[in-house]
Structures are given as structure tokens and as C-alpha cells.
Amino acid sequence: MTRWAVRRILDGCDVPAPEEPDVPDAPAMRVLILDIETRPNLAYVWGLWEQNVGLNQLVQQVQVICWVAKWLDEPGTTEFRSVHHDGHGAMVRRMWELLNEADAVLHFNGKRFDIPHLNREFLELGLNPPSPYKQIDLLAAVKRAFSFPSNKLAYVSKALGLGGKVQHEGFDMWLKCMAGDEKAWEQMRVYNERDVTLLEDLYHRLKPWIRSHPSFGAMNDRDDVCPGCGSENLKPQGHAFLNTGRYQRFRCEDCGRWSRSTKRSGKTNIVEVAA
Ligand SMILES: [Zn+2]
């Protein structure tokens, strides 16, 4: 459907098409895909089972040791930084700079894992918060919309035919990296980069299912594009019914997302009140 046809639905049938349609640039939103790896807390323990570790037994707290980031749909922007190659401060500061440029961040369980870990490191380095960004957490999207036997990235990506994660030797790889083993770091980089590639592929599969996706329209001051992908290719299909009235519903012919107008096309003047 043409952009002007959508406009006519939103604004009413009498809106004439302008002689030279004023079409702004294609809506843009810079989305940073990221995945971090951490080293665990290090502590003295008296046993191996059901330990209750006191703070005076803690030798070294958990720390981010490396990350991979890439701008969504921007080839050649994959970036790997680590304590080993860059030093801890430079690695953390570079992530701060990237987040500062991002409109949104794409991750897997990042709301609970990656972002709080990064925020702790920013605070410890004396950095203020980067400019606010929206978060697209693919684990939350998978949990909300589907029932897979496992919600892990390795399982879900394989089930969708996207290929699996890079196999590695488990915790030994972390131990070797912490000891400065170059081969282990190379393995870590490949493993970390693969996760970001998987995240990008998984995002494209899940896109129309992701609820509360940051709105391309709102970010670009456009009220006639798909909120999830910015496409103008919207097809009117049915209506959304809220207690306040009827709203035109659209399906995006590019990504498949459903959306609706915020303008009422039919209304009721009476709504219930809580008793
Ligand atoms: Zn779309």
C-alpha cells in the first residue's frame, strides 16, 4: 500500500495527495547488538557442596573480561574488546561510547545480565550513565511468545535452523584466558562473535513477534510507518477494539508486524468504571 493511501486512512478520506509528496529519509534507528563474557567471583571455600560464602572469603569480584558488539544491519561493524587485548579501562570505556551512540540495544538476557554488569563497571570507573537507550531482550521475547523445551540461545537458534553456538572446552577456556593464553583468547573471540551473529539472525526471525519494540515511527517523527521496521508498506486489515472505540489495524507487508492507528475510527462515549 502506498504511503499516501495509509495517510488517507489516518487523516480521513478528504486529504488530497500533495503534488510533490514530502517524504523524509527512510526511518532510522541505530541498534547495537552486544554480548559480554565475565570471569566469575573468586573465593576461598571450605567445601564443594551447598557453600555459604562470606564476604571475607571473597578474593575477587566478578568482572567483564570481553565483549562483542555490532550495529544491526551494518556489515563490517563487528568489534571485539577484551581485558587481555585492550586493558580493562579501555575495554569498558569503548562500550560506554558505543552505548552512548545507540538508540536501542539488542541482547539475550541482557536486561538481567549484560547491562547490569556493564553498569557496575561504568560506576566503578567513575563514568556517568550513557545516553538512554531502549532495550530489545530476545530472551524475554522468546519466553513471552513461545514454548520451546529450552529458552537458551543455543537451543532456540538451532531449532530455527540458524546454526548453533561455537563449541568450546567449557570452563577450561575461561581459566586459560585468565592465564593469558593466546589460543584460548582466539577461541573466546570466535565464540563471542558467533553469539552476536546468532543474535542478529534470531532478531530478524523474531521481529514481528517482539512486543513493545522501540518505535521507528516515534524515533523518526513519522506517524505512518511500521513501528517495528519503519516500512511504509502497511496494509489495512481489520480493526482493534478497545473500550474507548475502534481503531484501524495494519499489517506490515515487509516484516509481518501488526500495528494500529492511535486515532479512533469509531467510538463509544461510554466506558465502564471500576465498582
Ligand atoms: Zn514492519
Rg, the chain, Cα only: 23
Host H or E run for residue 164? none
Sign of CA dihedral 47, 48, 52, 58: positive
Ligand 1 geometric centre to CA of 107 (Å): 20
The pTM of this model reads 0.87
Q: Give me the CATH topology for the region 31-41+54-209.
A: Nucleotidyltransferase; domain 5 (3.30.420)
Residue-wise pLDDT for 243-259, tens only, equals: 888 999 999 999 999 99
Ligand 1 geometric centre to CA of 265 (Å): 22
Ligand 1 geometric centre to CA of 72 (Å): 15
Residue 13's pLDDT is what? 60
Residue 149 CA: distances (Å) to CA of 49, 85, 165: 28, 38, 17
Residue-wise pLDDT for 155-205, tens only, equals: 999 999 998 788 888 899 999 999 999 999 999 999 999 999 999 999 999
Task: Kindly report the number of other CB atoms within 10 A of residue 164's CB atom.
Answer: 12
Q: For the chain, which residues make up each domain, given as ranges?
A: 3-26+214-267, 31-41+54-209
Ligand 1 geometric centre to CA of 188 (Å): 35
Residue whose cell numbers read 508486524? 257
Ligand 1 geometric centre to CA of 171 (Å): 41
CA dist., res. 239 & res. 232, Å (int): 19
CA dist., res. 59 & res. 223, Å (int): 54
Amino acid at 115: I
Residue-wise pLDDT for 109-143, tens only, equals: 999 999 999 999 999 999 999 999 999 999 999 99
Task: Kindly report the number of other CB atoms within 10 A of residue 261's CB atom.
Answer: 20
Ligand 1 geometric centre to CA of 140 (Å): 20
Ligand 1 geometric centre to CA of 234 (Å): 8
Contacts of 26 (CB under 8 A, 6+ apart): 230
Ligand 1 geometric centre to CA of 226 (Å): 5
